[in-house]
Amino acid sequence: MTALVDACQALTEPWAEILPPDDDRQGYQVIEHKPRILMLADMIGSNSGRSTAGGSLAAERNLINSAAFDLWQKIDSQAKEALNLMGRNPHRELIDTLRLVGIEGDALRATNAMTEIAHSRLTGRVEKWRADIELLLDPPTKKEIIGACPGCGESRVYTPEGEMHALIAYYWPGKDLAADCHACGERWQGVDLLRALGSHLGAEADYVELRALGVG
Ligand SMILES: [Zn+2]
């Protein structure tokens, strides 16, 4: 059984990031962060959505702020709903409500007052909140890929912002990468699938872009 309290603490407790030595720095570096739920709150309030792409436009910052606000609202209402179902009243502050969700949920599970299915569903939901926050904190760099989607054959899509390439690659340097087709929604996640996509696109692929991702 995965403890719900652990999933909640990933949102409510300070955490540390350990960076390995690199060219500029000897030894490991530890970076202390505030609780993720408070980092989300900061994103709503500030106008400085952290972007690895750099040079963020005002429009893009607003997009991040409103995405952070929507996520906050979602977590707030779902956490309150979970506590109400447990017969407990939420706290005034969301961070305290989340702590209570973890403690109460595990306690109810331990006495079989909550089913295993309900418990693991709630744990999965809290883990998804964390993943959603991390996506906002560390947005991927985006690159358009020239070529037709193997799934639907489209190479371009039309959006309210204008025409763009259907295939867009996303990457988090040194961590993960993925590509989406914005016409049909198909997704390629990870180096192997991206490679398969690249070889399918063949001569028509934008190999410069794919190679920039370490895939070409
Ligand atoms: Zn497609």
Residue 51, pLDDT score? 44
Report the separation in Å between the CA atom of 54 and the middle of ligand 1, taken as the mean of its atom positions: 28
Does this model's pTM top 0.75? My answer is no
Encode pLDDT of 189-214 as tens digits.
888 888 888 878 775 455 555 666 65
Reply yes or no on whether the pLDDT at 53 is more than 50.
no
Residue 212, pLDDT score? 62
Report the separation in Å between the CA atom of 182 and the middle of ligand 1, taken as the mean of its atom positions: 7
Strands (E), the chain: 15-19, 29-33, 141-145, 156-159, 162-165, 167-172, 176-181, 187-189
Dist. CA 36–CA 128, nearest whole Å: 13
Report the separation in Å between the CA atom of 171 and the middle of ligand 1, taken as the mean of its atom positions: 19
For residue 173, give the nearest of 216, 212, 134, 121 by alpha carbon.
212
* Beta bridge partner(s), residue 178: 170, 189
The sheet with strand 176-181 has its strands ordered as 141-145, 167-172, 176-181, 187-189
Work out the angle at residue 126's Cα, subtended by the Cα atoms of residues 120 and 128, and round it to the nearest 5 degrees. Answer: 100
Higher pLDDT pick, 59 / 6: 6
CA distances from 97 to 52, 166, 203 (A): 32, 41, 54
Report the separation in Å between the CA atom of 161 and the middle of ligand 1, taken as the mean of its atom positions: 19
Asked if 119 and 1 count as a contact pair (C-beta separation under 8 A), the reply is yes
Work out the angle at residue 187's Cα, subtended by the Cα atoms of residues 70 and 195, and round it to the nearest 5 degrees. Answer: 135
Q: Hey, is 141 helix, strand or coil?
A: strand
Report the separation in Å between the CA atom of 63 and the middle of ligand 1, taken as the mean of its atom positions: 25
- Give me the chain's average pLDDT, please: 84
Residue 49, pLDDT score? 44
Encode pLDDT of 153-181 as tens digits.
999 998 777 888 999 888 876 677 888 89
Report the separation in Å between the CA atom of 157 and the middle of ligand 1, taken as the mean of its atom positions: 10
Dist. CA 133–CA 71, nearest whole Å: 8
